Amino acid sequence: MEKQGCSEMEIVSSESHSFIKLLKVNREHLVTHIRNTRCLLDNLLQNDYFSTEDAEIVCACPTQPDKVRRILDLVQSKGEEVSEFFLYVLQQLADAYVDLRPWLSEIGFSPSPLIQSKAVVNTDPVSRYTQKLRQQLGRDSKFILCYAQKEELLLEQMYTDTVVELVNFNNESLGSLDSLACLLDASTGVLNEEGETIFVFGDAGMGKSMLLQRLQSLWAAGQLDPGIKFFFHFRCRTLSCFKESAALCLQDLLFKHYCYPEQDPGEVFAFLLRFPHTALFTFDGLDELHSDFDLSSEPDTSSPWEPAHPLALLASLLSGKLLKGARKLLTARTGVEVPRHLLWKKVLLRGFSPSHLRAYTGRMFPERATRQRLLDQLEANPNLCSLCAVPLFCWIIFRCFQHFHDAFESSPQLPDLTVTLTDVFLLVTEVHLNRTQPTSLVQQNTRSQTETFRTGRDTLCSLGRVAHRGMEKSLFVFNQDEVQASAVREGDLQLGFLRAVPELDLGGEQESYEFFHLTLQAFFAALFLVVDDKVGTRELLRFFQEWTPPGEAVATSTCYPPLLPIQCLGGHGLHGEDPFKNKDHFHFTNLFLCGLLSKGKQKLLRHLVPAAALRRKRKALWTHLFASLRSHLKNLPRVQSGGFSQVQALPTFIWMLRCIYETQSEKVGQLAARGICANYLKLTFCNACPADCSALSFVLHHFRKRLALDLDNNNLNDFGVRELQPCFSRLTVVRLSVNQITDSGVKVLYEELTKYKILTFLGLYNNQITDVGARYIARILDECKGLTHLKLGKNKITSEGGKCLALAVKNSKSIFEVGMWGNQIGDEGAKAFAEALRNHPSLTNLSLAFNGIATEGGKSLAWALQQNASLRIFCGLPCPPPGHLPNPGSNPRLLHGRQILYHLRFNPLYNQELLTLSALPRSVSAFKNNWETTGTFNPDAGRDWGQEEKRTTEDEMAGWHHQLDGHKFE
């Protein structure tokens, strides 16, 4: 009946343009779907279409449908113009009359110029609430509050993009995001259509919170998805600070503890429940979540009106039991894992790329001369440059540079010192302590660092006590009582180390506090352990116990990074362990402890702690550190193969190296090198970053024997390659696959490896190497006469780079295996490799699969095989056309049981060619392809071969040529 009325109305409207008749015909449809009469009355009154008496008549009606009927009666009685304006209000206020959108679209309503000139005010509670949220988030996100809380900078002027990558469940890259708006784009990077959570993760200081602030700013400015009408931002640590007995319903959490609607909160909440897809929730810092009760014992919360603990509400929101359809964005540090069924997308923050770093430098230092001076210093000091890949450390280092620049303005360069993380945080502490001085830092400060720390000892001790007590309990937010119990004075709070928690007043009338970053809390905890002379050896070394014992690590871990299950989200952790526990703050405390007790800091510390206590702590620390390193490596499983004693180290080993590097003591580095009792060090999947290569080199350059180093599957990039320079003189095996290395890093490899010419294995699988880098690799192959294995699969090498590599392979007398899977060398590159294959004396294994090789290239390779007596495994040969196959009888090696692997499915093929190849005797050629049994091809099968190429180790390959005869390919 309703459809009939609409059709009739369309005829009436098109013929007579009678808006009165349109309202009459659709009267019941309008009465049913108009729920907001306030907006209609406000606009009719403002444009003098209704009088005050008319509005009073409407308001006197007892029910909402009656009010709508009375409005329709009055509107129709006042003529066509008022009826048209009535429809215009419905059209303009789409949020208020969302149920009428299809109807308005169906009738094709188009207002006249007169009606379009009328002002329409939006007094809809939902629209007003959206406007209030935009104003609040726009205000809160406009400025970046610097860590010292003494300076605010415009976000728009200072924000710089970082490398933001979409990844799959295994954290393998799916490509970079072009803009933050793409986070919400359903066309890219979706892992699970049923999931609702965008999980953004990265190391500490990578800019996760800054990304959320930028996202808030974009939404407030209307530059995100226009369909998002609600944006709610929470910090996980504040949700965990509610008392265990606290219970809130979802409406109270959103309105009372975030932003309260100015009118009709019930109507706003009803809209949110009805259209949850219009809401975006952001939860910052899942790794900082701390709970004193077992969340798994809490009942599930699926009712939006049922009171529950805020953490239970968080879990129910993420799982979709509350507001299913709403989008959630969750951040956490690397190492925290969220159950896969909750995830919609996974996003990894990698920090600043070189171009991002230059852009950020330009924003921080607008003056060209100063900016160039800083860039020159970073270029000369790869240690600092790699730290600058982390936005937090970049900010600190830039502030330090600003301080040095002001203090040494007349000097042609900064002091030539190795700057460690401890140095950076000592300078940050000095700068903050000097804020009590009347003179500005722009003017040269007359107080030395020693004087500053000696004068501020009481402040350092009290703040250190707060930090240490928090570390012991894994607490990062402190109430007023906890701060006062540590003798922190009001003046200490004004220095900027501690800041008031800005969200919820969780402790009644008392304020809560937190250090401006977890890393600073770790620094102060370490400083307390050093400065307080009452701290004994057991307490000094307490946090080193957080290093997983090697025996347990072997039994419970794999080569992959450990996962941290989130119990409240459905994960299953180890019984009795805190599922929210993250150990990075303990590791950083140990790191700073080593830095503070290093020899170079004794001049400063002797004014803060008695000399005897300082010697005792130093001796205890070094003894424990060396024993831990030796025990860790000694107890790891060992493999004797290919002349190597191979050991797979764990991420704990990386932290040990970081601590050793922080000492900046060559003697400590030498002693650590003696503790390495293997000559094949495998550090795969250890989450190693570029700065860790400095620590690795600091120790390994003291290792007197030759060494194999496997750093596959980390995050090293070109900075990391540069920092490995001191130890290349020892390395015979260099494996750097899956590390975002570009041509720039390959150039460094060429310059270093060709100095010593001891290289036997070079693994660069799955990086970002182009033809430019391929030329450098070809030169490595030319000059390193002992190089036997070369892994270059899944890069960006085309025919030009392929030709250079093929020529180097042809000239090499030692090369045993070449992996080129997954490049794009095409037919031209294939022809070059065919030339290299002819009569090659040593090449045994060659992979050219997935290289876009067609018939011409395959024909050249097929004929080249007839003239090669050494090749045993060949992957990636496309089938040559009929009549061009090599005659098995023409090559005696095929008749002596040697096997060639034609990996047919990875390059273009033709059915007739397959039939021809299938006619070859089984004893002559083994085909690893599924067409033999199924007659079909699986294009995904190449992935397995790519993984095989990546995993192949030197000792495996060395054994292949002994075992190949009679081997059966499955």
- The pLDDT, as a whole number, for residue 381 is 62
pLDDT at residue 638 tops 90: no
The answer to the question of residue 693 being in a domain is no
pLDDT at residue 964 tops 70: no
- The pLDDT, as a whole number, for residue 954 is 36
User: Cα 305–307–308 angle (5° rounding)?
Assistant: 130
Residues 195 and 56 reside in one and the same domain: no
- The pLDDT, as a whole number, for residue 15 is 39
Distances in whole angstroms, Cα of residue 657 to Cα of each of 594, 630, 663, 725, 816: 11, 12, 10, 17, 34
Residues 882 and 958 reside in one and the same domain: yes
The answer to the question of residue 527 being in a domain is yes
Give pLDDT tens digits for 566-597: 333 344 333 344 433 557 788 899 999 999 99
- The pLDDT, as a whole number, for residue 333 is 82
Query: Is this prediction's pTM over 0.85?
Result: no
Element spanning 350, H or E: strand 343-351
Q: Which of 122-126, 144-148, 781-785 shows the lowest mean pLDDT across its residues?
A: 144-148
Residue 923's SS3 state is coil
- State the CATH number of the domain containing residue 215: 3.40.50.300
Measured distance CA(860)–CA(848) in Å, rounded: 13
571 lies in which domain range?
457-611
Residues 24 and 136 reside in one and the same domain: no
pLDDT at residue 920 tops 60: no
Confidence of residue 945 (pLDDT cuts 50, 70, 90): very low
The residue-averaged pLDDT of 385-395 equals 81
Measured distance CA(698)–CA(668) in Å, rounded: 10
pLDDT at residue 749 tops 90: yes
Q: Which of 385-389, 524-528, 753-757 shows the lowest mean pLDDT across its residues?
A: 385-389
pLDDT at residue 145 tops 70: no
User: Cα 848–851–857 angle (5° rounding)?
Assistant: 80
The answer to the question of residue 168 being in a domain is yes
The answer to the question of residue 585 being in a domain is yes
Residues 571 and 529 reside in one and the same domain: yes
Name the residue with higher pLDDT: 505 or 718: 718
pLDDT at residue 617 tops 90: yes
- The pLDDT, as a whole number, for residue 410 is 52
- The pLDDT, as a whole number, for residue 446 is 60
pLDDT at residue 223 tops 70: yes
Residues 829 and 792 reside in one and the same domain: yes
The answer to the question of residue 108 being in a domain is yes
- Residue 746: CB partners within 8 Å, gap ≥ 6? 764, 769, 772, 773, 776, 777
Of the residues 89, 123, 157, the one at which a domain ends: 123
Q: Quote the radius of gyration of the chain (alpha carbons, Å).
A: 34
- State the CATH number of the domain containing residue 814: 3.80.10.10
- The pLDDT, as a whole number, for residue 97 is 79
Distances in whole angstroms, Cα of residue 821 to Cα of each of 838, 845, 868: 20, 12, 21
Determine the residue type at 27.
Answer: R
Displacement of CA 167 from its chain's centroid (Å):
9
- The pLDDT, as a whole number, for residue 697 is 93
Distances in whole angstroms, Cα of residue 809 to Cα of each of 507, 786, 835: 71, 12, 10
Displacement of CA 879 from its chain's centroid (Å):
43
Longest Cα–Cα distance in the chain: 108
Chain mean pLDDT for the chain: 79
Give pLDDT tens digits for 410-444: 554 444 456 778 888 888 788 778 766 654 434 44
The residue-averaged pLDDT of 826-852 equals 93
Sort 459 into a burial class: Cβ within 10 Å, 0-12 / 13-18 / 19+: buried
Q: Which of 98-107, 704-713, 737-746 shows the lowest mean pLDDT across its residues?
A: 98-107
Question: DSSP string spanning 583-618?
Answer: -HHHHHHHHHHHHHTSGGGHHHHTTTS-HHHHHHHH
The answer to the question of residue 90 being in a domain is yes
Of the residues 592, 611, 630, the one at which a domain ends: 611
pLDDT at residue 521 tops 80: yes
Supply the angle between the helices 38-46 and 64-77 in degrees, to the nearest 10: 30
Give pLDDT tens digits for 329-366: 999 987 788 889 999 999 999 999 989 999 999 988 98
pLDDT at residue 801 tops 90: yes
Residues 472 and 340 reside in one and the same domain: no
pLDDT at residue 104 tops 90: no
Residues 198 and 307 reside in one and the same domain: yes
- Give the whole-number percent of the chain exceeding pLDDT 90: 34
Please, are residues 799 and 828 in contact by the beta-carbon 8 Å criterion?
A: yes
Please, are residues 739 and 720 in contact by the beta-carbon 8 Å criterion?
A: yes
Helices assigned H by DSSP within 320-416: 354-364, 368-380, 382-387, 391-407
Confidence of residue 524 (pLDDT cuts 50, 70, 90): very high
Residues 559 and 462 reside in one and the same domain: yes
Q: How many domains does the chain have?
A: 5
- State the CATH number of the domain containing residue 66: 1.10.533.10
pLDDT at residue 170 tops 50: yes
Length of the chain: 970
Residues 155 and 105 reside in one and the same domain: no
- The pLDDT, as a whole number, for residue 794 is 95
Give pLDDT tens digits for 686-706: 888 888 898 999 999 999 899
Question: DSSP string spanning 801-842?
Answer: HHHHHHHHHHH-SS--EEE-TT-B-HHHHHHHHHHHHTT-SS
Q: Which of 740-754, 801-815, 841-855, 873-887 shows the lowest mean pLDDT across its residues?
A: 873-887
pLDDT at residue 386 tops 60: yes
Residues 822 and 933 reside in one and the same domain: yes
What is the per-residue burial (b if ≥16 Cβ within 10 Å, else e) of 59-97? Answer: eeeeeeeebbbbbbebbbebeeebbbbbbbbbbbbebbb
Measured distance CA(832)–CA(825) in Å, rounded: 10
The residue-averaged pLDDT of 94-115 equals 82
Residues 202 and 312 reside in one and the same domain: yes
The residue-averaged pLDDT of 911-938 equals 36
The residue-averaged pLDDT of 622-631 equals 86
Confidence of residue 390 (pLDDT cuts 50, 70, 90): confident
Residues 860 and 946 reside in one and the same domain: yes
- The pLDDT, as a whole number, for residue 548 is 53
Give pLDDT tens digits for 857-911: 989 998 888 888 888 888 765 444 444 444 444 443 332 334 444 443 445 544 4
Determine the residue type at 698.
Answer: F
pLDDT at residue 4 tops 60: no
Measured distance CA(388)–CA(394) in Å, rounded: 4
Give the other-Cβ count within 10 Å of 627's Cβ.
11
Residue 188's SS3 state is coil
Of the residues 123, 155, 172, the one at which a domain ends: 123
Give pLDDT tens digits for 288-323: 776 444 444 556 788 999 999 888 899 899 988 999
Which phi and psi (to 5°) does residue 777 adopt? -65, -40
pLDDT at residue 43 tops 80: yes
Confidence of residue 929 (pLDDT cuts 50, 70, 90): very low
